């Protein structure tokens, strides 16, 4: 079997990422591309449908060996409080 050198390259129309297969490009655009409005809308749908369980994310204070609370994040859908507020405001 020969491998053709002049393969068609598919390119994501949102982030210009190049993909080798049409199917791969479609999956990228629908599921993985963070510039894709399809992915963004899906993410918003998940966040809206989630009954959030908030947990506080702790991180180290720069230069110190102690942690301090940074922000709240839902342990179910992974939304942060900043992202959540942005979605609520745009609703
Ligand atoms: Zn993309
Ligand atoms: Zn959630």
Distance from C-alpha of 63 to C-alpha of 85, rounded to nearest angstrom: 30
pLDDT at 75: 97
Under-70 pLDDT residues of the chain: 1-7, 91
Gap from CA of 54 to ligand 1 centroid (Å): 30
User: Within a domain: residue 1?
Assistant: no
Gap from CA of 73 to ligand 1 centroid (Å): 26
Gap from CA of 13 to ligand 1 centroid (Å): 7
Distance from C-alpha of 64 to C-alpha of 74, rounded to nearest angstrom: 26
pLDDT at 9: 85
The pTM assigned to this predicted structure is 0.69
Gap from CA of 5 to ligand 2 centroid (Å): 46
pLDDT at 60: 95
Please list all protein residues whose beta carbon sits less than 5 angstroms from ligand 2, which is an ion: 50, 52, 74, 76-77
90 and 63 housed in the same domain: yes
pLDDT at 8: 77
Distance from C-alpha of 46 to C-alpha of 79, rounded to nearest angstrom: 10
55 and 87 housed in the same domain: yes
37 and 12 housed in the same domain: yes
User: Within a domain: residue 13?
Assistant: yes
71 and 87 housed in the same domain: yes
User: Within a domain: residue 2?
Assistant: no
Identify whether the C-beta of residue 25 lies closer than 8 Å to the C-beta of residue 19: yes
pLDDT at 90: 79
- Ligand with smallest separation from the Cα of 17: 1
């Amino acid at each position: 079997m020969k491998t053709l050198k002049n393969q068609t390259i598919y390119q994501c129309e949102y982030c210009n990422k190049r993909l080798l297969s049409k199917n791969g490009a479609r999956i990228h655009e629908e599921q993985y591309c963070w510039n894709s409005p399809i992915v963004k809308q899906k993410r918003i749908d998940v966040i809206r449908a989630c009954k959030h369980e908030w947990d506080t994310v702790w991180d180290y204070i720069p230069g110190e060996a102690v942690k301090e609370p940074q922000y709240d994040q839902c342990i179910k859908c992974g939304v942060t409080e900043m992202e959540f507020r942005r979605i609520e405001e745009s609703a």
